[in-house]
Amino acid sequence: MDLLGWYFHYFSFFGIGIHVIIAVFFAIHAIRNGKPYFWLWILFVFPFLGSVVYFFAEYLPSSRMPYQANAVGRKMLHVLQPNRALNQLKSQYETVPSIENAVHYADALTSTGKASEAISILQQKMNSLCENDPAFLEKLAVAYLQDQQSEKVLEVTTKIKNIDPEFKKEDMALLRALSFHQLNQEDQARQEFHIATRSKNINILSEYGFWAIQTNQPELARKIREEMQKSWQIWSKYTRKMYKPIFKQYDKALKDLKKPA
């Protein structure tokens, strides 16, 4: 008996494989729960693999399973639909084009490397209600920075400082420091980094360190690494795990800096 014959002999009902029956079950679940119709296509074209993915992506997260199981489901869903969150925010914005939805959508666009689209969305919403809102302007400045429009970043952050000098002072200084670096104005960048790092925020410290490495300042880079280590020593295991990639990347860059040319 070949493998296919063995399968249908032991794992089928009336000649129909169990994987097909499971796929039908999940298809019914998808229809009853208003899931997107592409699930039906996946389930019937790839019944076995489709059922496995549907179980982790849709069925398990909506069940009363423990949190860990739901976390697995969310990861599976991200693999299948990596732009799902972005598409949801886009749909919300297109349905209700409010300033709030525009900001959320633009923020997601920026974080996925689509800064120029984010800038366009925010500029369209620029009006008397938000043109002097530091939080709105911050999103625009971040998008400008990712889009390499450094002078625009400096313009917007200056406006924020004039409106509210205390608004996220360190974050604004970081945006300005990175902008000056893009413009090769390193003295101004250093001054802004000194303001930004007062918070001892590890993300800001690492940006300062990477700048020191990029501008060939090994001694400063090592001092910053020592400062980062102070935070590492008092962190919980979870926090260390979260920031470990930054430390690993920093240490690699620092090691490469020490190598002879």
CA distance 153 to 140: 8
Q: Residue 87's pLDDT is what?
A: 83
Per the structure block, which two tokens stand in for 130? 């938000």
Q: Is residue 95 part of a domain?
A: yes
Claim to verify: residue 102 and residue 57 sit in the same structural domain: no
Q: Which domain holds residue 113?
A: 88-131
Claim to verify: residue 92 and residue 60 sit in the same structural domain: no
Claim to verify: residue 70 and residue 92 sit in the same structural domain: no
Q: Is residue 237 part of a domain?
A: no
Domain count, the chain: 2
Claim to verify: residue 99 and residue 59 sit in the same structural domain: no
Claim to verify: residue 63 and residue 106 sit in the same structural domain: no
Per the structure block, which two tokens stand in for 175? 């945006």
Q: Is residue 199 part of a domain?
A: no
Claim to verify: residue 96 and residue 124 sit in the same structural domain: yes
Alpha-helical regions (H) of the chain: 3-10, 18-32, 38-45, 47-54, 60-62, 67-80, 84-95, 99-111, 115-125, 134-146, 150-163, 169-182, 186-196, 202-214, 218-234, 237-258
Supply the Cα-derived Rg of the chain in whole angstroms.
Answer: 25
Residue 76 CB contacts under 8 Å (≥ 6 apart), including other chains? 53, 56, 57
Q: Is residue 69 part of a domain?
A: yes
Q: Is residue 22 part of a domain?
A: yes
Q: Residue 61's pLDDT is what?
A: 55
Q: 16 has which bridge partners? A: 13
Claim to verify: residue 70 and residue 102 sit in the same structural domain: no
b/e map of 111-143 (b: 16 or more CB within 10 Å)?
A: eeebbebbbebbeebeeeebeebbebbbbbbbb
Claim to verify: residue 31 and residue 69 sit in the same structural domain: yes
CA distance 69 to 251: 34
Q: Residue 58's pLDDT is what?
A: 65
pLDDT in tens, the chain (261 residues): 444 454 444 344 444 456 577 777 777 777 776 667 677 777 777 777 777 776 666 655 554 444 444 444 445 444 444 467 788 888 888 898 888 989 999 988 888 888 999 999 999 988 877 889 999 999 999 999 999 999 999 999 999 999 999 999 999 999 999 999 999 999 999 999 999 999 888 999 999 999 999 999 999 999 999 999 999 999 898 889 888 999 999 999 988 876 654
Q: Is residue 221 part of a domain?
A: no
Q: Is residue 154 part of a domain?
A: no
Q: Is residue 2 part of a domain?
A: no
CA distance 114 to 255: 32
CB of 194 closer than 8 Å to CB of 167: no
Q: Quote the pTM value.
A: 0.67
Claim to verify: residue 24 and residue 70 sit in the same structural domain: yes
Q: Residue 138's pLDDT is what?
A: 94
